[in-house]
Structure formats: structure tokens, C-alpha cells
Amino acid sequence: MTELRSIARKGALFLAALALPATASAQTCVSQREAEALFLYVAPELIREAGRVCAPSLPAASPLRQPSGALIAKYRAEADGAWPLAKSAFAKLSGAGASELGGLAQLLDSQFARPAAAPMMAQMIAAGIRADDCPLIDRAMTLIEPLPARNAAGLAAIAFDLAGREDRGRAMAVRICPAPRAAR
């Protein structure tokens, strides 16, 4: 029973941590690789959730409407390997200070966090999808469908960065840290 309470407590803390990115400091940023990993980790669930939300607006042949299709499988194959860097991005985006990151990292290492993070984040993002967004999302997915998952993740990281620069207060905005300049 104590273990169940501990898991429930960790779950509640994790849910709160996922809600924090909307309030994270404008200075919070993640590396390009962390942003790519975040996309790779969340993509299978996000594609599935976007497909569910957009189903009434899209043709049956849309890649978004294929919950067990090749598109989701391609990202699912990359998701597990992306978790370590995605976990780092989740911790940074939570807005936790340096002293809190250790506790959050421990929480993210829990047996609850890994399987819960992607579906929860996907639902949070999909909640902002409007019906008139669906054709554009479908077009974007159709265009990136032939790309390798890692290339699509790189493009997604660029899109995260552009969106993060445009609206720092928006929920789920991701700012990419500037790359260090090479010594001259």
C-alpha cells in the first residue's frame, strides 16, 4: 500500500511538472538535440492524438488517421532511444531551478513518468488544435512522412525554436539554446 501511495504521489508531482512549461522562465532553453529528442519521444502519441482530434475534418486516407500505420511506427522505433534527452528537456522546460532539478530528475526516472509523459504532453498539445488547423497539420505530416524520423525531428526543433521566439508565454513553447560559437 505504501508503494502504491508513493507511485500516486510521484504521479501527481509529475502531472504538476508537465503543467509547468507554460509558466517556465523565458530564459529556459533546451539544446537542439534535446528538442529533437522531445519531438521523437512525443511524436507517436501526438500523431495519434492529432489524428483523433482531426478525424472529422480529414479524409480516411490521411496519414494522421492511421493509428497503426507506418508513420507512427517510424517514430515509435525512435521513441525509446530518445527518452534520455527528452527527459532532460522535460526537466528544463518544467521551470525547475538548479536545486529542484535533482528531485525532478528522480521523479522523471520513476516507473510512472516514462510511459505517462508522451501521452500527457500529446493531449495537452492536441487540446489546442482547432478544426481549421487540421488540413494544415495533415499537409505538414504528408510532407514530412517520407523523411527519416530524425530529419523530421530536426525540422520540428527548428519550428519549436521559431515558435518559442515568437511567443515566449505560450504554453509548450520551446526555446532552443544558442549554439556555442566556434573559437576563432
Residue 170 has pLDDT above 60, yes or no: no
Residue 37 has pLDDT above 90, yes or no: yes
pLDDT (tens digit, 9 = 90+) per residue, 121-141? 899 889 999 999 999 999 999
- pLDDT at position 45 is 94
Q: What nine digits make up the cell of 19?
A: 503543467
Residue 48 has pLDDT above 90, yes or no: yes
Q: What nine digits make up the cell of 57?
A: 475534418
Residue type, 134: C
Asked whether 163 and 170 are in contact (CB, 8 A), the reply is yes
Residue 12 has pLDDT above 80, yes or no: no
- pLDDT at position 79 is 92
φ, ψ of residue 176 in degrees (nearest 5)? -90, 130
Which residue would you say has higher pLDDT here, 125 or 163? Answer: 125
pLDDT (tens digit, 9 = 90+) per residue, 61-80? 888 888 778 889 999 999 98
Which residue would you say has higher pLDDT here, 167 or 115? Answer: 115
Closest among 124, 100, 129, 75 to 13, alpha carbons compared: 100
Residue 2 has pLDDT above 60, yes or no: no
- pLDDT at position 91 is 80
Q: What confidence category does residue 96 fall into, taking pLDDT thresholds of 50, 70 and 90?
A: low
Coil, strand or helix at 87: helix
> In whole angstroms, what separates CA 139 from the centre of its chain?
20
